[in-house]
Amino acid sequence: MEKKDKKKRIALILMIVFGAVFVVSLLILIIKSFPNNSYKKSKKDPAPSSSVTSEVLVDNPIDFAELKAQNDNVCGYITVDGTVVDYPVLRSDESLPEDYYLNHDWLKNSKFAGSIYMQKCNSSDFSDNCTLLYGHNMLDGSMFAGLRKFRNEDFFNENKYITICTPGHILKYEIYSAFTYDDRHIIHSFDFSKQEDFELFVHESLNPRSLETYHIRESAAPVWGDKIVVLSTCTDAYGDLRYLVAGKLIEDTKTN
């Protein structure tokens, strides 16, 4: 009896399996008999977005929303290879004096060390042909004191880049000259919107008249059409000399 029951169960299972296969096969035949309208439509009329290539943006390493929530005058963030330069960049708004950040930190606290800042003659988005940034040469090594390291030839050769982040961009500059200059106001002395003045300043920065040690990187020398940034600080010596580190924009990466 047990053997007969076992055979009946097997037979019943096989009938169920064959029946299921039959039903599935029948459904497949029915589905295939209908036209696939969605396929035809995608072939004839592709969605408009299918032909648009979206630009891939990288994440900005600086949280400008947080910085600007504390001080809307923050317009950038600068780092310089091999130095402790790692600071927000400020630009006074219309309610503040031109050189307010000469002796105020980025949170607007009165402070002798001041901030790294640009004047109102420069655009806050670093779009000018030449952007000039100021910072104190502090005895404790802070602010732009680290620029003094570029007086060493080996250091100059090994450390090439200035990186400035702005809302929406990462700007990378290759340093092409580090030299001592007089105290003239560079932006007011050269009209960088004119090719002649732009090239004159570049020539002077590649051929400084100072007797002090300077270093240049000919391979990175700017030409008309390039954008440059100039970092300016006081020299160690008494007087009105300035120590400048100049870089050419080589990379502009858009960010989220």
Segment 73-115, tens digit of pLDDT:
999 999 999 999 999 999 999 999 999 999 999 999 999 999 9
Q: Please tell me the predicted confidence (pLDDT) of residue 79.
A: 98
> Can you give the pLDDT at residue 203?
97
Q: Which of 20-34, 136-150, 229-243 has the highest mean pLDDT?
A: 136-150
Asked whether residue 36 carries a pLDDT value surpassing 70, the answer given is no
pTM: predicted TM-score of the whole model, two decimal places: 0.78
Residue 65 pLDDT greater than 80, yes or no: yes
CA-closest candidate to residue 199, choices 251, 130, 245: 130
Q: Tens digit of pLDDT for each residue in 222-254? A: 999 999 999 999 987 656 899 999 999 999 999
Backbone phi and psi for residue 200, each to the nearest 5 degrees, phi listed first:
-65, -45
The larger pLDDT score, comparing residue 17 to residue 190, is at 190
For residue 43, pLDDT over 50 is answered with no
Tell which CATH architecture fits domain 64-254. Answer: Beta Barrel (2.40)
How far are the Cα atoms of 23, 26, 27, 34 from residue 31, in angstroms, in the given order?
12, 9, 6, 6
pLDDT tens profile 144-175? 999 999 999 999 999 999 999 999 999 999 99
Share of the chain above pLDDT 90, in %: 73
Of the given ranges (20-24, 116-120, 176-180, 209-213), which has the lowest mean pLDDT? 20-24
Average pLDDT of the segment spanning 206-221:
90
For residue 56, pLDDT beyond 90:
no
212: confidence class by pLDDT, cuts 50, 70, 90: confident
Antiparallel, parallel or unpaired: β 86-91 and 116-118:
parallel
Q: Which residues contact 167 (CB under 8 A, 6 or more apart)?
A: 60, 64, 68
pLDDT of 47 > 60? The answer is no
Q: Are strands 116-118 and 242-254 parallel, antiparallel or unpaired?
A: unpaired
Q: Mean pLDDT throughout 186-190?
A: 97
Dihedral sign for Cα atoms in the order 47, 48, 51, 52 = negative
